[in-house]
Amino acid sequence: MPEKYELDERARILLRHLINSHTRDGQPVGSKSLVRLAGLDVSPATVRNIMARLEEMGLVESPHTSAGRVPTQAGYRLFIDSLLEVDNLAASAQQTISQSLDTDKTSTDLIHSAGEILSRITHLAGIVSLTHTAPAEVRHIEFMKLSERRVLVILVINQDEVHNKVIHVDRDYTDIELQQAAQNLSRYLLGQSFENARERLLEELAEVRSDVDEITQKVLDAMQEVCDLNAHDLVTSGESNLLQYAELSDINKLRDLFNVFNEKTDLLKLLDGCTTAEGVEIFIGSESGYSVLSNCSVVGAPYQVKGDIIGVLGVIGPTRIDYQRVIPVVDITARLLTSALNTPN
């Protein structure tokens, strides 16, 4: 603990109870209430003196309209690093998370479910990033002829990601021609990294041209779209939960915050900082580096596929979120999502 924050036992107990009380109801905490909450045999005057010292350290502050005190960003950071007593997640909550991450689901559905269950249990906004997806590997290609010179392309990527894309062609193709085109593409793409297979295929097509090249090029373009989408994506859930917190209710703050969810880029960069974390990473207020999140905290943890970190999940809420309850929810959800993504269907 930094020297300037060295606290005696009474100060530590009082700061912990002040933060726990403030996270519950969002109200400033007065000295008389702290005496009762902490159960210490000290007078309110002694508590006021200790609070004044904590305020000088920059760990608490007094809102203009109240004699009570609230924690500062520095106070929260000290609390999380040194004073936090993380709860064990209830068995019922673990079961709820586990059931939502049914291994029979596709990986895409699992990721969406993770965001939804985080939001539902914590009453915050759930976020899941896909910033480090492994190279796309093609498992299956199939063409289905539609009307008016349209062809449905069915692609299975990686373990179980199914993508459908309608392409428009310059002439009608027979079922046999489409079957032949699928077989030709399969020779190059199945079981291979898409980028490597694409480069090899385009080199050979430059030497040998055929009438189905039109379909080949359009399928490659469609697959490139799929790969670009998977490379940087963000799933959000429960943003409306943030409306319940008075400190975030200012219309301008809400507009800016919801813009962050819609544009996604800043959140993806922020979550990218969690990929090197061992377990749960927490950004409090300005620690995120984004002014729009100055009144918010982000709690995130990475998840993996085959030992590689492919993304981060977590929650966003006000700085007074219930860390001792939220941290284990995020941690266990990341572990269970990792397990589900690595369980063969």
Per residue in 12-24, pLDDT (tens digit) is 999 999 999 999 9
CB neighbour class for 127 (10 Å; exposed up to 12, middle 13-18, buried from 19) = buried
Of 116, 89, 91, nearest to 326 by C-alpha is: 89
| CATH class for the domain made up of 91-131+232-341 | alpha beta
The third-level CATH classification (topology) of the domain covering 3-83 is Arc Repressor Mutant, subunit A (1.10.10)
Angle of helix 31-38 relative to helix 44-57, nearest 10 degrees, comes to 100
- The token pair at 20 is 């726990």
Per residue in 92-115, pLDDT (tens digit) is 999 999 999 987 787 878 999 999
Mean pLDDT of 147-164: 79
| CA 107 to each of CA 94, 284, 287: distance values in angstroms, whole numbers, following the listed order | 20, 30, 31
Length reported for the chain: 345
From CA 96, how far away is CA 99, in angstroms rounded?
A: 5
Per residue in 236-292, pLDDT (tens digit) is 999 999 999 988 888 888 889 999 988 888 898 898 888 888 889 999 999 999 999
From CA 266, how far away is CA 30, in angstroms rounded?
A: 38
> How confident is residue 1, by pLDDT bands cut at 50, 70 and 90?
very low
From CA 234, how far away is CA 338, in angstroms rounded?
A: 17
- The token pair at 330 is 């995020």
Angle of helix 323-341 relative to helix 91-100, nearest 10 degrees, comes to 40
> How confident is residue 79, by pLDDT bands cut at 50, 70 and 90?
very high
Q: Which residue has the higher pLDDT, 197 or 258?
A: 258
Per residue in 323-334, pLDDT (tens digit) is 999 999 999 999
SS3 280: coil
Listed by start position, the domains of the chain span 3-83, 91-131+232-341, 138-231
Q: What is the mean pLDDT of the chain?
A: 85
SS3 65: coil
